[in-house]
Each structure stands twice: as C-alpha cells, then as structure tokens.
Structure 1
Amino acid sequence: MTVALSRRASDVRVIGLISLAHGSSHFFHLILPSMFPWLKDAFALSYAELGLLMSIFFVVSCLVQASSGFLVDHIGARPVLFAGVGLLAIAALTYSQSTGYPMLILGAVIAGCGNGIFHPVDYTLINHKVSAPNLPYAYSMHGVTGYLGWAAAPAFMVAIAQVSDWRIAFLSAAALEALILLVLWLYKYYLVDDLKERHEQTQVDTQDSHSSAQKTSPFAFLKLSAVWLCWVFFFFSMASTSSLQSFAPSALFSIYQTPLAVGSYFITLLALGSAVGVLFGGYLAAKLQAPERIVSSCLSLTILACLLLATGIISHSWLPVLFIGLGFGYGVVAPSRDLLVKNATPKGVAGRVYGIVYSGIDLGAAVGPFIFGFFMDSGLPKALFMGIAVFQLMVIPTVFKVSSSTTPKTV
C-alpha cells in the first residue's frame, strides 16, 4: 500500500509539472495574436503581415517538432524541456523590444523553436514516468492545461495592454514563463529521463522482433504505417480546430449577423468546453479502453454540429450551446487519441515518434487557416463549417486503421 501511494504521489508531481509546461506553450500560441490590434497601429502593418507571423511560428514549430524527438532520445527530455521554456521567455522579451516587423519575425522564429519541443518531451516523460493505470488521467490533465492556456492568454495580454501598453504585456508574459522555468528547475528531480533504460528497451524490443533494421537505423520507425496514420490524424484535426478558432467569428457574422465580439466569446466557450471534455475523456478512456470507438463517436457528433452551423437556420440562442458541444467533443477525443499514438509507438523511441507525429499539429495549424482564408475572402463563410466537417470525417478511418495495426506497448 505504501509503495502504491508513493507511486501515485510521484505520478501526480510528474503530471503536474509537465501539464504546467504544456499550458505555458499553448499560452504562447496566442500572446502574439492577442496583441495584433496594438501591433497593427504601432508598426502600420496589414492583416496579411500579421497573419504571416503566425504562419512563420507554426512552420518553424513543425520543423523543430519533427526533429526535436531525435534530440530527446539522444540527450534526454529534461534539458530539452528547459531549453524550450527558456526560448519562449526569450521570444516574449524579443516581442517587447521590437522596433519593426523584422524583430517580430525574429520573435516568431524563436517562439516556434521553443514551442516545437513540447510534445516529444511531454509524451516521452508521461509514458516513461507515469504508471500505466494513470496514463489516461495524465493525458487528460495534459490536454486540459493546453486548453486553459489558450483561454488565459487573451485575457492576460489584453488586460495588461489596456492598463499599460503592449510592450509591458509581452514583458509580463516573459516574466511568467521565467517563473514557470524556475518551478520546473526546483522540481527537476521528478523530470529525470533515464536514457539508459529507454535504450535498453529499444535493444530488447529489437531482439524480440528479430529485426536488424531497428538496431542499425534510428529511422526504422518511419516505415511503420501507424506512425503516418497518426500524423494524418493530427494534421486534419488541428487544421479544422485552428480554422475554427481563426474564422468562426467572421463566419458567424456573415451567416447569422452575430457581432464579432460575441463570436469571439464563442471561441472562449469552445476552449472551456474542450477543457471539460478532456477531463471526462480521460475518465472515459480509462474505463472503456476503446479509443477508436470514443474518437469516432465524438467526431461524428462534432461533424453534425458543424453541418448544422453551415445551414444558417440555427437559432441564435443555440449557437453558444453548439460551440460548447463542439469544444466538449474535441476534448473528449484527446486522451483516447493520445492512447492510440502510444500504442503505435515502438519501445524506446518515444521521442522521435512523438516528434514526427505531433508535427502534424503545427503543419495543420499553418495550412488550415490558409486554405479557409480563401473561402472567407471569396464570400463563402458556410464553406468554413462544411470544410471543417470534411476534415473531421477524413480523420475517422485513420483511427480504425491505427487501432487494427497496433497492440499496446510499454514505452
């Protein structure tokens, strides 16, 4: 009993520290967009130039995420985590001292480098240091803090900018990230990544499978179809989510004459609904142990909600309900999605697999809004919700293919 309680306490500390870091990365997704009105006036920028800053951020993050997994497997997750958090603080500091567009671009590049390390680091530590019965709850809390980071950033940045200015807001974000880095450093013992043990697992797995390919090539995992199916899953999932976050207020204004301020409020409801959904999704994943059924059922409901929004006949009073429901459905999916990826990950190579798979998130975030921006510019706001429904529909077959081609593994 004492050992079990000690193990649970250790799991709680690890989950708490990793979730704190993950929440800060999502917080930094939105500190720059939150300041767009101030930056537009300060530097006479166009919306296209402001949007390009976010594309740069996510493209750099995608490239770093795809490669940082190899670094995690080479030097360990903890130093990479510290570097990523430190880079986010430096990025905010760079934003605060910007004298023109080139410095904003530099800040976006630094922020993308920092953001790109989190999923390979987080999931390597979670899968390696959290006991199997608590994994669904770890994925759940990890997801919740991400959504809360999204929800907190606009309120934090705008409130400070309104009472002072945008430079102070960015400096405050840098100070907040520095404080988080200090907390992680003080509790660094709980974030130790035993590379020797992970490498031994790789060798055992290689011997058990009688495969020389994995022993001779660190890229052997790229031949696994399940890895690329998971990448497709993340690409289309994030392409739909980021497009909804970017253009839903404008689309609702065009279709339902909903004021833009109210439409932005619906995005907050989407994030909060997702946070609640992730908590429930963690419980559901732990109890049912059927990730493919959970993901396909929830996505079917979110597809229906998007198609209803595209009809233009929904009552205004039902719009917030639909957005809460959409967020809840996205949230419930997350823990089961993470279990699917874990089951598709060979032993001992978690860092590089998560780096490749989760790079789909960043590329989807960069590509999705770019595609749907053309529909919005062409006066086709209903195509936003219809296209998002199509993207989600394309995800469902990958879930069953991943589930049928993998068996649970210990990482």
Structure 2
Amino acid sequence: MVDVVAPSRRTKRDTRLRTLALISAAHWVSHFHMLVLPMLFPFLKTALNIDYIELGFVLTVFAVVSALTQAPTGYLVDHFGARKILLIGLCLGGASLGLLGLHLSYPVLIASAVLLGLANSVYHPADYAILAAHMDEARMGRAFSIHTFAGYLGGAMAPMIVAALMTSLGGITALMVCGATGPLVAVLLLAFDVPEAGENRRKDASGHASQRSIITPTLILLTIFFMLLGLSTSGISNFGVVALMNGFSASFSTANVALTAYLVASALGVLAGGFLADRTDRHSQVAAICLGINAAVLLMIALVTLPPALLTMTMATAGFLGGMIAPSRDMLVRSAAPEGAAGRAFGIVSTGFNFSGILSPLLFGWLMDQSLPRWVFSISALFMVLTVVLALFTERKREPDNARVGTV
C-alpha cells in the first residue's frame, strides 16, 4: 500500500508546485507590464512630443479601466474558466505593448493603456481562483505569499530590464520585447498544462445554475479594506523619496536607499507572512496587529528626524510589516468567497486597490504641493489605523455547505 500511495502523493505535490510556478510567472508578468509604460515615459515624451500631464492621463486611463473591469472579469473567470481567461489576459497585455511599438502615436498610447487595464483585471481573479482550487489546504498561505512575491519581483525587475532594453535596442524594440513576455508565459502555461478552475457554477435543487449574488457585507468590507490598505502603502511607494528629501532634509541617495529597503523588506515580509498565515486561522487579528505596529512606526518617521542608518532600518521595518499582511489578506477573501466563486470574490475586492490607485496620486500629490511632506507618512499611518478597525470585522467563517471537499 505504501508503494502505491507515495507516488500518488508525489504526483499531487509535483502538480501543485508546477501550478504555483506557472501562476506566479503570470503574476510576474502582471506587475512587470504595469511598469513598462512609466519606465518609458522619457522616451515617449520625446518621441510623441507630449507633456507629462498627457502621460499622467495614460496612467489614469489604465487605473480606471482596471477598476471598472475587475468584478466583471471575476464573473467571466467563474463562468468560463480561469485558465482560458488568464491566457487571454497574458496575450492581451502583450498585444497592447506590441501594438504601440508598431504604431507609435498618442491615440495608440491611450488604446494601449485601455488594453493593459483590461489585461490587468484578469490576473487576480484568475490566479487566485486556480490557486484556491488546486493548492494544498495546509500550505495555502505560503502559496498565496509566493504568488504575491512573484508580482513584487516583476515590479522590482521592470526598471532595470526596461532601462537595459532602452539603452541597447531603443524604445520601439523595448516595447516589442516587453510585450512578448505575455504570450511567452501563455505558451508556458499551455505547454506545462496549467489546470482549470471555475466554470463549475453551483446548481440549485432544480438543476439550474445558481444565480445567488455573492456581494455580501463581508466582501463589501473587504473591498473597502483593500482600498484603505492600498492608500496606506501607495503614498510611501510613490512619494516616499520626494517626501524624505523635502521634509526631512534627506539626500537623494539616502531617500532612495530607504525606499529600496522598504520595498525589499516588503517582499521578504510577504514570504514570512505566508508561513504565519498557514499556522493560524485568525487572519484578521494578524492583519490588525501588523497594521497597528506599522502605523506606530510610520508615525515615528513622520514626527522624528532620524539619522540615515536608523531611517533605513525603520523604513525596512515598515515594509516588512506591510508585506506580512498580504497572505492573511488573501486568506480573508478566500474564506469569504462562496464555493465556486473565488474569481468573482477576488475580482470584487481587487477593485479596492484600483480605486486607491486612482485616489492616491491625487491625495499625496496635493500634500506635496502644499509643502506637507511629513503628512505623507502621517496620513499613511492614519489609513492604517482605519484599516486596523475594519480588519476586525472582515473575517467570516465558511458555512458548512460551503466547506471544501478536498484539493487536487
């Protein structure tokens, strides 16, 4: 019996590892593609002879389209299958950059932002639906953390990859090469047979597909939770360097080192948070504790002018605590999602991040325009306090009829 069972277990484990690697690769592309256009702004400004406000409008279009299409895409994932939608998203994102490389003009740049926004709406609903269906229940938190870490890595690698391509091959070729990563990963997903998820709509007693709405109070609270969480971190990521330079007399190099420490520690915190999420079912309390400590850390940065070494260490602490929240955050959504509706659930709550992406530049940019750089950290801390309060109301246990019957 042992000789029969052991190979079966190894096969399941290998399938899960392969699935996690493939979905993480897709998430890497997601974050990489999000930063390709911003990294090419100097080239696009010169090539198209446009102003920065016109370039900023491109990012606004991307954020608005992503926000409006996340929830509908979640429905498509559950209705038609996550694998199919994910493959379409990867190819669509690649095509948007390739199209701009072939026809470089401002109208095509706007169209590229629209297509990138549509592609971006695919990843969270499709990725999490597949992971929720096929990962080992006991290691779900770690699976979510590795997936999130891959996205962070894609964003971190984008500047140096785009810069290298731009320097050696030029802007047009950089667009084409960066766009090719989407279809290339789609081919990998097909070649290594990433499993399907979704398309298993629950049926009622009469045998018809259930039309029960999944928009519950818990998911609404989680959407607001995601928005507040995005607002609490995006200000530091986007305006941290200029805030430290203008409000704390930090040099450019000191501010950049501090922000780099913050971002690297965030990625490491995500991995640590995955282990923690697998060892407790009190995910809301984990999020609340990490957020509460982090708010105190940010408030200290806002109120006290720290020497460079201590500033870097404090920023790293804030980043690590912020990263630790991510796996518990995702576990909260998974617990709140009805069976067979993971795509829709993650699609709905992810709109919170999109809304924060729209509001954050306006709010924190206004603070900088008002010569209030220390308030970048104070307001971020305030959003974290609000998130702590909300976190304590976001956890809902699955009802018995929604209990999982096993994993593949």
Q: TM-score with structure 1 length normalisation?
A: 0.91
Which of 221, 224, 234 aligns to 2:214? It is 221
Q: Which runs of 5+ in 2 are unaligned?
A: 1-5
Q: How far apart, in 2, do the equivalents of 1:128 and 1:122 lie?
A: 10
Q: Does 1:327 align with 2:319?
A: yes
Query: What do the CA deviations read for 1:184-203 (whole angstroms, capped 9, x no partner)?
Result: 12123x322363xx32xx34
Q: Does 1:389 align with 2:394?
A: no
Q: How far apart, in 1, do the equivalents of 2:98 and 2:365 lie?
A: 30
Q: Is the 8 A contact 2:228 2:386 kept in 1?
A: yes
Q: How far apart, in 1, do the equivalents of 2:209 and 2:190 lie?
A: 34
Q: How far apart, in 2, do the equivalents of 1:91 and 1:257 lie?
A: 41
Q: CA deviation at 1:57?
A: 0.8
Query: What do the CA deviations read for 1:343-363 (whole angstroms, capped 9, x no partner)?
Result: 111112222111111111111
1:357-376 aligned at under 5 Å gives the runs 357-376=349-368
Secondary structure in 1 matching 2:278: helix
Query: What do the CA deviations read for 1:69-126 (whole angstroms, capped 9, x no partner)?
Result: 1111111111100010001101211332453322211111110010111111011111
1:163-312 aligned at under 5 Å gives the runs 163-188=168-193, 190-193=194-197, 195=199, 198-199=200-201, 202-203=202-203, 217-218=211-212, 220-222=213-215, 224-260=216-252, 262-312=254-304
Q: Is the 8 A contact 2:198 2:341 kept in 1?
A: no
Q: How far apart, in 2, do the equivalents of 1:319 and 1:45 lie?
A: 38
Tell me what 1:86 maps to. 91
Q: How far apart, in 1, do the equivalents of 2:62 and 2:352 lie?
A: 14
Q: Which runs of 5+ in 1 are unaligned?
A: none
Tell me what 2:127 maps to. 122
Q: Is the 8 A contact 1:151 1:268 kept in 2?
A: no
* Residue 243 to residue 50, structure 1, CA distance change in 2 (3 Å): farther
Query: What do the CA deviations read for 1:289-338 (whole angstroms, capped 9, x no partner)?
Result: 32122111111222122212212511122222222222211211111111
1:130-169 aligned at under 5 Å gives the runs 130-169=135-174
Q: CA deviation at 1:215?
A: 6.5
Q: Is the 8 A contact 2:241 2:252 kept in 1?
A: yes
Secondary structure in 2 matching 1:373: helix
Secondary structure in 2 matching 1:116: helix
Q: How far apart, in 2, do the equivalents of 1:102 and 1:38 lie?
A: 16
Q: TM-score with structure 2 length normalisation?
A: 0.91
Q: CA deviation at 1:131?
A: 2.3
* Residue 90 to residue 275, structure 1, CA distance change in 2 (3 Å): same
Match of 1:394, as an amino acid?
L
The percent identity for this pair of structures is: 31
Q: How far apart, in 2, do the equivalents of 1:56 and 1:410 lie?
A: 40
Q: Is the 8 A contact 2:259 2:315 kept in 1?
A: yes
Count of residues in Structure 1 that have an aligned counterpart in Structure 2: 396
RMSD of aligned residue pairs (Cα, Å): 2.0
Query: What do the CA deviations read for 1:217-268 (whole angstroms, capped 9, x no partner)?
Result: 34x211x110011101111111222222211111111012334455344433
Tell me what 1:406 maps to. 397
Q: CA deviation at 1:140?
A: 1.0
